[in-house]
Amino acid sequence: MDYEKTDILIIGGGVAGLSCAIGLKNESNLKIVLLEKYNEFGSKIKGEIVNQKSEIFKKIFNNKFPVNIRNVIFKTAKYYTPTTKKFAIRKFPFDTKIGIEYRKLIDELVKVLTQSDVDIRINSEVIELIEKNDKFIGVKYKDSNGIKEIYSKIIVCAAGIDFLSLCNRFTTPPKNICPAIKLNAENVDIPDPSQLEFFLLEIPSIIYLFPKSKTKAEIGIILWSDQVKNNEKFNLHEILMEQINSHQILKKRLANAKFIYYNKEKLPLGGPLKNLYFPNIFFIGDIAGHVGAIGGSGIVSSMSIGYYLGVYLKDLFNIKKDFTDNDFIKCQKLINKLNITKWLKTEASNAKVMRNILYSTYPNKNFIDDIWDKFKYFIESRGP
Ligand SMILES: Cc1cc2nc3c(=O)[nH]c(=O)nc-3n(C[C@H](O)[C@H](O)[C@H](O)COP(=O)(O)OP(=O)(O)OC[C@H]3O[C@@H](n4cnc5c(N)ncnc54)[C@H](O)[C@@H]3O)c2cc1C
């Protein structure tokens, strides 16, 4: 079997892995390899809303937000109760929340990387982590020429939630992994494209409708697994389709909609993992719970944490040749001290409180209406 050696190996070419590679690049003389399973980066489109004022865009894109990825600027988000009798409106600070084209963002990240000597390989699926003396020392991966091994001084795993099936044994997985479905649609009837809409359902779940224009939108549903009682089973696809056909407001918006993209997903909404490092592997992005539990925000969080881990590792490799666990644990501490990590923790606990209040008595359809006047303060007073 072919094998090779590298300094740093990144598994996964989503926003977390690509940003980590960007943090590592530049005059470091390090051998860096990034392996992506599919034949293109960002093949699975997930969230498409970001805060364009986030620092990470300036860091990665030379102080300029890549305007070609932007479609709509949002002014407000409207949240409806299950009966739609009540709602709350959250206002966004001017020019912050925007809709993006996910694939274009990925293209921009890849463009930054192609000016570097990071060795990025598509069609390269990691099928096994190689372990020796309680340390991860490399991976087995499959490409069009067969199975290969690659050994690395440090591995960064940014392979998303599905990769847990390959490493569950070694790590405490992120908590509250929630199933989700995302659709992109055309022929949608959107009265106000500057408004995001959220529809709470009777069961612990939420449907969102994010406009891309007056006639195009992203629609998704998330089931809040932590609120589901007695191992009740829900078929998310059926629930979404039923709501599209019968919900008072969704029915109007989507009466003539043509669905052009469908993605079954999972979202870790239990907060960031504290232990991101296990000898000698780091976990970042979705697989480490780097998702804002209230409003998605996984793109900015995964990009930020990925990028800074890259920078910290580059600094470490610039001053040392041999490493101990302590060196890597220091990097983990730096990540845990980042404002974005602290924010992710707060988001997770606030989100849990909100979900607990809303769904404490489900399936009592009117309960949310009854408490809404007190509850809507939570939504309307939230920052960016
Ligand atoms: C329905 C939904 C809506 C969302 N909405 C938003 C939103 O509006 N705003 C927002 O900021 N965030 C949103 N998010 C969250 C956000 O999309 C994610 O948090 C973010 O994309 C995570 O990036 P990642 O790089 O960690 O993982 P991923 O994007 O999952 O990337 C992982 C990469 O690893 C690759 N990979 C997997 N297995 C292997 C393997 N064995 N070998 C090699 N490569 C592998 C995959 O192909 C993929 O390219 C949403 C998520 C969902 C599910």
Cα 259 from chain centroid? 22
Q: How many Cα neighbours within 13 Å face the side chain of 183?
A: 20
Ligand 1 within 6 A of CB of 99: no
CB contact set of 315 (below 8 Å; sequence gap of 6+): none
- The 10s digit of each residue's pLDDT in 82-98 is 999 999 999 999 999 99
State yes or no: pLDDT of 384 exceeds 60: no
- Closest ligand 1 atom to Cα of 182: 1
- Closest ligand 1 atom to Cα of 180: 1
Ligand 1 within 6 A of CB of 218: no
d(CA 323, CA 57): 31
Ligand 1 within 6 A of CB of 18: no
Distance 128 CA to ligand 1 centre (A): 20
Q: Tokens 């769904």 map to which residue?
A: 359
Distance 46 CA to ligand 1 centre (A): 6
Read off the pLDDT of each residue in 44-50 and give the average, rounded to a whole number: 86
Which residue's alpha carbon is nearest to atom 13 within ligand 1? 47
Distance 34 CA to ligand 1 centre (A): 16
Which residue's alpha carbon is nearest to atom 3 within ligand 1? 47
- Closest ligand 1 atom to Cα of 127: 41
What is the Cα Rg of the chain in Å? 21
What percent of the chain lies above the pLDDT cut of 90? 83
User: Both tokens of residue 47?
Assistant: 């969230």
Ligand 1 within 6 A of CB of 90: no
Which residue's alpha carbon is nearest to atom 47 within ligand 1? 37
State yes or no: pLDDT of 28 exceeds 70: no
d(CA 288, CA 238): 29
258-268, strands of its sheet edge to edge = 87-91, 76-80, 195-200, 205-211, 217-223, 177-186, 258-268
Ligand 1 within 6 A of CB of 47: yes
Can you give the pLDDT at residue 211?
97
- The 10s digit of each residue's pLDDT in 302-314 is 999 999 999 999 9
State yes or no: pLDDT of 115 exceeds 80: no
Read off the pLDDT of each residue in 185-191 and give the average, rounded to a whole number: 98
Residue 169: pLDDT band (50, 70, 90) is low
- Closest ligand 1 atom to Cα of 181: 1
State yes or no: pLDDT of 12 exceeds 90: yes
Can you give the pLDDT at residue 133?
92
Helices (H) and strands (E) in the chain, counts: 10, 18
Instruction: Quote the pTM value.
Output: 0.96
Which residue's alpha carbon is nearest to atom 52 within ligand 1? 46
- The 10s digit of each residue's pLDDT in 315-372 is 999 888 888 999 999 999 999 999 999 999 999 999 999 999 999 888 787 899 999 9
Architecture (CATH level 2) of domain 2-380: 3-Layer(bba) Sandwich (3.50)
Ligand 1 within 6 A of CB of 291: yes
C-alpha pair distances (Å), 190 with each of 45, 67, 83, 328: 22, 23, 20, 49
DSSP label of 122? S
Distance 85 CA to ligand 1 centre (A): 35
Distance 342 CA to ligand 1 centre (A): 21
Helix residue ranges per DSSP H, the chain: 15-24, 55-60, 102-114, 164-167, 236-246, 248-254, 298-319, 325-337, 339-358, 367-380
Ligand 1 within 6 A of CB of 49: yes
